[in-house]
Structure formats: structure tokens, C-alpha cells
């Protein structure tokens, strides 16, 4: 299934921007493609830009990469819980608290990309293990109904959203 084929009842409007940002490619294929595209994209960023903030209080590129990693872990955890038919509503998270409590700027870009790759490989293995029935399961996350497969497309769209921000505000 492609993101443009995802029924709108499988996600809330809150996630629509990320769903739309995902390419109209099959979920597993796009999880793999976007992994390689992101790594290649980041490796082409000039070294002096990784610690740059375009305004006071804004995140650095390293902060954003760590944010993408943390968010993917959370989305995958949600997908796991919902796919296993866990009906417990899953809470949201405060992204600024996460960024404020990392050491992203003290890490090398290669270390961040290695972690990103490992997290994405884990996400891929999870999604490859799921049946069609599990992918269609709905649960509550951040007070919104969402399906497991929608969470996969949100993961992709979230990464692409931040790549676009890199291009528009940092490079």
C-alpha cells in the first residue's frame, strides 16, 4: 500500500502533513529508500553547518537528527503495541524535553547516522514481520486514532519534513 491509498479514517488530521510528505511508494520500500536518501543527504551537508542554529533557541542539525531518531523509536513502539492489539491509549511526548536532554551536539555526525541506521533497521524488521491484519489495526496515540501502517508512513513523512527544513533554513 502507498501513502496516497491510506484511508483517512486510519489517522487524524494531526498526522496528515507527515502522511502526505511520504512518497507514494509501498511502505517497506520507502522505509528502505528513505534511510539511504537521508544518510546520503546528511553526508553532503558542510561540516560547519551541523552545529548551526538559524535563530536563537532553534535546534542544530545534530539536535534534529537526534529528534528524528527519538521520534522514530516512539512511533515504532506505538506500532508494536497497537499491532499486538494492546488497547491502552499511548501518551504523547514533549519533543523539546527530549532534545534538551540529549547530548546530540557532543556526538559525531557519523555516530548519529549509525544510530539512525540501526533504529531504521529495527523499524524495518518490525514492519516486515507484521501481517496485513496487524498493519490495519487501530489504536490511540497522543489522543488520536491511528493505524500501524499509518505510523509507518508518519515515520517516513516526519523524516522528510525535517530534511525539507534542513534545506530551507540551514543550508
Backbone angles phi, psi at 55, to 5 degrees: -160, 160
Check residues 4 and 132 and name the one with the higher pLDDT: 132
Q: Taking the model in full, what pTM does it have?
A: 0.96
> What is the Cα–Cα distance from 149 to 38, expressed in whole angstroms?
21
**pLDDT tens by residue, 62-84:** 999 999 999 999 999 999 999 99
Residue 94 CA to residue 65 CA, distance in Å, equals 16
**Where are the extended beta strands (E) located within the chain?**
138-141, 144-147
Q: What integer best gives the mean pLDDT of the chain?
A: 95
Q: Where are the beta strands (DSSP E) in 25-156?
A: 138-141, 144-147
Contact present, 143 and 47 (Cβ < 8 Å): no
The pLDDT of 40-47, averaged and rounded, is: 96
DSSP secondary structure code for residue 139 in this structure: E
According to DSSP, the residues that pair with 147 across neighbouring strands are 138
Residue 168 per-residue DSSP state: I
Write the pLDDT tens digit of every residue in 96-144: 999 999 999 999 999 999 999 999 999 999 999 999 999 999 999 999 9
- Asked whether the CA dihedral 44, 122, 76, 69 is positive or negative, the reply is negative
What DSSP state is assigned to residue 104? G
Q: What is the structure's pLDDT at 3?
A: 86
Q: Do the beta carbons of residue 67 and residue 155 sit within 8 Å? A: no
Radius of gyration of the chain (CA): 16
Confidence of residue 2 (pLDDT cuts 50, 70, 90): confident
pLDDT more than 70, % of the chain:
100
Q: Domains of the chain by range and CATH?
A: 3-43+62-170 (1.20.120.450)
pLDDT given at position 14 = 85
Amino acid at each position: 500500500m502507498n501513502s496516497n491509498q491510506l484511508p483517512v479514517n486510519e489517522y487524524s488530521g494531526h498526522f496528515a502533513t507527515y502522511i502526505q510528505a511520504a512518497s507514494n511508494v509501498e511502505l517497506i520500500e520507502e522505509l528502505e529508500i528513505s534511510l539511504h536518501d537521508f544518510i546520503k543527504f546528511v553526508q553532503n551537508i558542510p561540516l560547519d553547518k551541523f552545529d548551526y542554529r538559524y535563530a536563537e533557541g532553534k535546534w542544530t542539525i545534530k539536535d534534529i537528527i537526534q529528534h528524528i531518531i527519538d521520534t522514530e523509536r516512539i512511533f515504532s513502539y506505538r506500532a508494536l503495541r497497537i499491532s499486538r492489539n494492546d488497547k491502552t491509549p499511548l501518551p504523547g511526548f514533549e519533543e523539546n524535553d527530549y532534545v534538551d536532554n540529549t547530548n546530540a551536539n557532543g556526538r559525531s555526525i557519523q555516530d548519529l547516522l549509525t544510530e539512525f541506521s540501526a533504529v531504521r533497521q529495527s523499524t524495518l524488521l518490525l514492519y516486515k514481520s507484521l501481517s496485513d491484519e496487524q498493519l490495519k489495526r487501530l489504536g490511540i496515540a497522543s489522543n488520536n486514532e491511528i493505524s500501524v501502517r499509518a505510523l509507518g508512513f508518519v515515520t517516513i513523512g516526519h523524516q522528510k519534513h525535517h530534511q525539507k527544513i534542513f534545506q530551507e533554513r540551514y543550508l
